[in-house]
Structure 1
Amino acid sequence: MQSLVIVAHGSHLNPDSATPTHTHADTIRATGAFDEVRTGFWKEQPSLREVLRTTHGDEIYVVPLFISEGYFTERVIPRELRLEGWEPELWNSDGISADTATLVASDIDKEVHYCGPVGTHEAMTDVLVRRAESVTGDPEVGNGFGFAVVGHGTERNENSAKAIEYHTERLRDIGRFDEVKALFMDEEPEVDDVTHHFDSEDIIVVPLFIADGFHTQEDIPEDMGLTEDYRNGYDVPATVDGHRIWYGGAVGTEELTADVVLERAADAGADIGDAIARVRQRTNPATQVAGE
């Protein structure tokens, strides 16, 4: 019996914080790849401390719905799950290459396959591309467009910036967009000056965040000049300094993120059959329009 546990931060203040986690869990449940799919949160219920006690599988895969390796993925989650013998070095990572560590969760006396965060998996690049397609409504978008991948900055966690740079480089290598650049909220180059960093008339802006919240819904739109007050809303695209800004919001709300969760579990040894292909088809707007 295989169990998947998706763990996330959650929030006492933002009721929408957990929505992507539940959405991706539902998408994966529909594939039937796991006998059970559960969710656990740091700031909401069910809690990280309790979630494994309600999990019944012989093979348990835990996937953090976080962007980067850092305090939560390296300290909080393993502690709350009571993973015996955990040390960040078990991931053998340079900050963006965490894979899997298999340890015993002491209070249930079972092995748990603890996976790296979704945000550093190579498949997240595909989710960024899908968000570009979603926000523009164009499955072929790329030519003539710039693409800004936005992060918070390195003040609190230098690995956060590594994840941003990693996917920025991968997007460049694809060669689909005319320009691809990493921008940040709290360090240079800043998202406030997005139009100064691109020659392209059309610029897609996607924050590498899991859920929409204060930063993605309020700070970034106002800082970019899409609106003076986020409560009044803004157009997509919005014209700023002669550029059209296609603002996509947090990439983790894109339905294809469920694919990255599956990829993490599969890399750890889970038998998921054709679930990845099914999720990619199910979440593809083109197949939805076609009624497939």
Structure 2
Amino acid sequence: MTQALVIAAHGSHLNAESSTPTFDHADTIRATGAFDEVREAFWKEEPHFREALRVVDADEVYLVPLFISEGYFTEQVIPREFRLEEWDPELWDSDGTSATHATLRAEDTGQTVHYCGPVGTHDSMSDVIVRRAESVTGDDDVGDGFGLAVVGHGTERNENSAKAIEYHADRIRESDRFDEVKALFMDEEPEVDDVTDFFESDDVVVVPLFVADGYHTQEDIPEDMGLTDDYRTGWDTPAEVDGHRIWYSGAVGTEPLMADVVLERAADAGADVEGAIERVKAETGGSPATGD
């Protein structure tokens, strides 16, 4: 039986770079040869969710949402647009951060679809956050003497949005790698605007848990933190703010190791991709940063 991987992402009509990480991670996985087909699909760009399965020849599909949290898109939009028969969020049996997968049938194509939980809540995302800290500091051993801020959007409309941020902050804190680890948000307390108020460490790495760089990560957050008065002029890395050095990484989803999280989701749903996972980790400098 032939097998395909479909990566489902949001995309954007306004930001051409929004889809870049999706294509990059798909290319990385495609090069491993783990699947007969690897396809990208988007809500706001072409190829669209609704047509995605119609151009997939494989009988069996692993559908992985490149989203940060469980919620409206992963529980309603994607299953509806992919026309997954008998879908119900209860099939994930999740508390907001523990979705795994559900095996369903695509209504109009008849394909077997293993619908996976979003990449953002998978345990291996903690390793990508740490890897992002390593990348921005240029130090593979970064941690001692450093604070780490994991930043999310936060919203009253979806409590799971904050859960994903707090989940990874807790996991990384338990690894004792960094002196301090905090979960901060754009639209709820504690706010990233006041990042220096929450850390005693002189050096603080700030990693936004976003899939792609865009308005929030490249404009809002740098200005809100005081890295720059005008995002168009750029900022220093690290930037001096209130007596601290802020190492701002940009969106975690642009880190090459993200391809591993996509593969891990598929593996959890039964895909035989262990060799591909090892290859991607080797090529992207991945390691079990949280000690799991």
Q: TM-score, normalised by structure 2?
A: 0.97
- Residue aligning to 1:137: 138
Q: Aligned equivalents of 1:187 and 1:86: distance in 2?
A: 32
Q: Aligned equivalents of 1:79 and 1:5: distance in 2?
A: 15
Alignment pair present for 1:198 and 2:211: no
- Counterpart code for 2:52: V
Q: Is the 8 A contact 2:257 2:286 kept in 1?
A: no
Q: Aligned equivalents of 2:160 and 2:34: distance in 1?
A: 31
- Residue aligning to 2:226: 225
- Counterpart code for 2:109: I
Q: Aligned equivalents of 1:118 and 1:273: distance in 2?
A: 17
- Residue aligning to 1:289: none
Q: Is the 8 A contact 1:7 1:39 kept in 2?
A: yes
- Counterpart code for 1:63: V
- C-alpha deviations, 1:51-98, integer Å up to 9, x for none? 100111122100000000000000000000000111111110001100
Q: Aligned equivalents of 2:274 and 2:284: distance in 1?
A: 17
**Structure 1 unaligned residues grouped into runs of 5+:** 287-292
- C-alpha deviations, 1:216-269, integer Å up to 9, x for none? 000000000000000000000000011000000110110000000000000000
Q: Aligned equivalents of 2:201 and 2:85: distance in 1?
A: 51
**Structure 2 unaligned residues grouped into runs of 5+:** 288-292
Superposed displacement of residue 285, structure 1: 8.6
Q: Aligned equivalents of 2:76 and 2:11: distance in 1?
A: 17
- Residue aligning to 1:81: 82
Q: Aligned equivalents of 1:53 and 1:285: distance in 2?
A: 34
- Residue aligning to 2:238: 237
Q: TM-score, normalised by structure 1?
A: 0.97
Superposed displacement of residue 284, structure 1: 1.5
- Residue aligning to 2:69: 68
Alignment pair present for 1:147 and 2:148: yes
- Counterpart code for 1:269: G
Percent pairwise identity: 74
Q: Is the 8 A contact 1:134 1:285 kept in 2?
A: no
Q: Aligned equivalents of 2:58 and 2:169: distance in 1?
A: 37
User: Structure 1 runs of 4+ off > 3 angstroms?
Assistant: none
Q: Aligned equivalents of 2:41 and 2:153: distance in 1?
A: 24
- Residue aligning to 2:162: 161
1:1-292 to 2 correspondences below 5 Å: 1-284=2-285
- Counterpart code for 2:251: A
SS at match of 1:31: coil
Q: Aligned equivalents of 2:273 and 2:133: distance in 1?
A: 27
- C-alpha deviations, 1:17-42, integer Å up to 9, x for none? 00000000000011111111000000
Q: Aligned equivalents of 2:286 and 2:96: distance in 1?
A: 33
